[in-house]
Chains A and B, each alone.
Chain A
Amino acid sequence: GQNIDQPTEMTATEGAIVQINCTYQTSGFNGLFWYQQHAGEAPTFLSYNVLDGLEEKGRFSSFLSRSKGYSYLLLKELQMKDSASYLCAALDTGRRALTFGSGTRLQVQP
């Protein structure tokens, strides 16, 4: 089975940097995904990591350490529109579907 943990809520200031952590335990690991979900909307794909290291995509970066079962999503130059929930999801080699964490609700303040 899988267990995925991430903080429930975070608050940050516009223009700042925020790091959202995710730890996972899987019987076999085959990739980690991050999604963004604005209130009342569907989740949308942000990033994918399967190898150790940092993947950068504009203001958003995602990091993975397979040996530690750890990932983080880094958001730079925060904007008000970044206020949303951020969902961490892992893919187990034993199944063909993602398992999601409970999500981290990020509030960006002026």
Chain B
Amino acid sequence: DVKVTQSSRYLVKRTGEKVFLECVQDMDHENMFWYRQDPGLGLRLIYFSYDVKMKEKGDIPEGYSVSREKKERFSLILESASTNQTSMYLCASSRLAGGLGGELFFGEGSRLTVL
């Protein structure tokens, strides 16, 4: 079974702090994704990566950056956390970019609260 592990289930940070959310997958998947999930808005794509050192902006990249130095690890960085970034962050990976192998495997999520 694919396992996607997110480093922290719950974090509380202060406005202006730099925040790192780490994600590791163990199935050699090419593609990795960061989504945030908010009530009434569903999952919204922040950034994704289809190869090491490659990244593409999703629908809401403002205020975020990412790093993919190794195939198995995809990090989400909040350079200066703000209260509107309080959310559930979900990391996911997939073997392919589309088709039946394109289904996403999600981590357990990291609930971030910015005070």
Which secondary structure dominates chain A's binding surface?
A: strand
| CB pair B45 A99 closer than 8 Å | yes
- Give chain B residues whose Cβ lies under 8 Å from the Cβ of A98: 45, 102, 104
Once A and B bind, how many residue pairs between them come within 8 Å at the CB atom? Answer: 63
**A79-95 interface bits toward B, Cβ cutoff 8 Å, 1 = contact, 0 = none:** 00000000101010001
Query: Contact residue range for chain B?
Result: 20 to 34
CB distance from A100 to the nearest CB of B (A): 4
| CB pair A44 B99 closer than 8 Å | no
CB distance from B9 to the nearest CB of A (A): 10
Report the nearest B residue to A101, measured CB to CB.
B42
Query: Contact residue range for chain A?
Result: 20 to 34
Complex alpha-carbon distance, A87 and B4, angstroms: 19
Tell yes or no: B103 within 8 A of A by CB: yes
Complex alpha-carbon distance, A91 and B31, angstroms: 14
Taking a contact as CB atoms closer than 8 A, the residue among B42, B56, B59 that contacts A103 in the complex is: B42
- Give chain B residues whose Cβ lies under 8 Å from the Cβ of A41: 108
Taking a contact as CB atoms closer than 8 A, the residue among A30, A44, A97, A103 that contacts B48 in the complex is: A97
Taking a contact as CB atoms closer than 8 A, the residue among A42, A89, A99 that contacts B107 in the complex is: A42
Q: Which 8 A-B pairs have the closest CB atoms?
A: A42-B106, A102-B42, A96-B97, A100-B43, A45-B103, A97-B48, A100-B42, A30-B98
